[in-house]
Amino acid sequence: MLSSNNDPSIIGGLFVNAVEAQGQAPALLRTDCGTENGTAASIQAFFHQNENAHIYGKSITNQRIEAFWSKLRPALDGWIDHFRTLKQDNIFEPGNTVHIYSMRVAFREHIANILHTFMIYWNTHAVRQSSEGPGGIPDTLFYLPTNQFGISIDEQSINQAKEHCRFDKSTTGNDDVDEFFEEAIAQFHLVPPHNRQTATDLFLQLIDKVEDRKSVV
């Protein structure tokens, strides 16, 4: 999870990380026209030495991704409702920096685990063939020796692409703030969350501890 999903260099970094992890770039990268996708689009074109390796299009016309969202949304609806309730009850204040940082620290890992579980499900379920791509199980298709859906990218090209990216490993977007929260959790023996309620409890505890030391922000 990221401190921002609007920074093109961060989105580009995610793309490069995926290419490096898989050892290849996709044959075609399609994104919507949001400015946050500009760096990833340029890197894809660089990898292929072909600007046509990336295309822009409206997400609503991309049936594959729309089908994906329809499956992912139920896994997240409970969280969306939960955060909306916290806001409506004035427990979470969107304009309060302490609240934003505390929420990222408290909920980040648990939500990341949910997304990871969904990723495993998605990559191991059967996808129907369509005009946009072949059918089959994504993991099986990807690892077939005859995979024609990507090209190998060498380490030098990966490193060149990384020079244009930002790799955001911080939970809050600020390393000093991350360190402060880690120390607070250890000092006050706060329990890491394992479900929505314990994450909410941690969120409230962090706010309580931090408000006495607002100089952190």
Could you report the per-residue pLDDT of 16-33, keeping only the tens digit for each? 999 999 888 998 999 988
Each residue's pLDDT, cut to its tens digit, for the chain (217 residues) gives 556 678 999 999 999 999 999 888 998 999 988 899 999 999 999 999 999 999 998 876 667 777 888 889 888 888 999 999 999 999 999 999 999 999 999 999 889 999 999 999 989 988 888 776 678 898 887 777 555 678 899 999 999 999 999 987 788 878 888 998 998 899 888 988 889 999 999 999 999 988 766 554 4
Residue 216's pLDDT is 47
Domain ranges of the chain: 72-131+174-212
Q: DSSP string covering 157-175, please?
A: HHHHHHTT------SSS-H
Read off the pLDDT of residues 147-193 as tens digits, 9 standing for 90 and up: 567 889 999 999 999 999 998 778 887 888 899 899 889 988 898 88
- Parallel, antiparallel, or unpaired: how do β-strands 24-26 and 150-152 relate? antiparallel
Q: Give the separation between CA 151 and CA 3, rounded to whole angstroms.
A: 31
What is the reported pLDDT for 43?
A: 98
For residue 30, report the phi and psi dihedrals to the nearest 5 degrees.
-120, 130
| Collapsed DSSP state (helix, strand, coil) of residue 133 | strand
Q: Biggest alpha carbon distance in the chain? A: 60
User: If 0-12 CB within 10 Å is exposed, 13-18 middle and 19+ buried, where does residue 25 land?
Assistant: buried
This prediction has a pTM of: 0.77
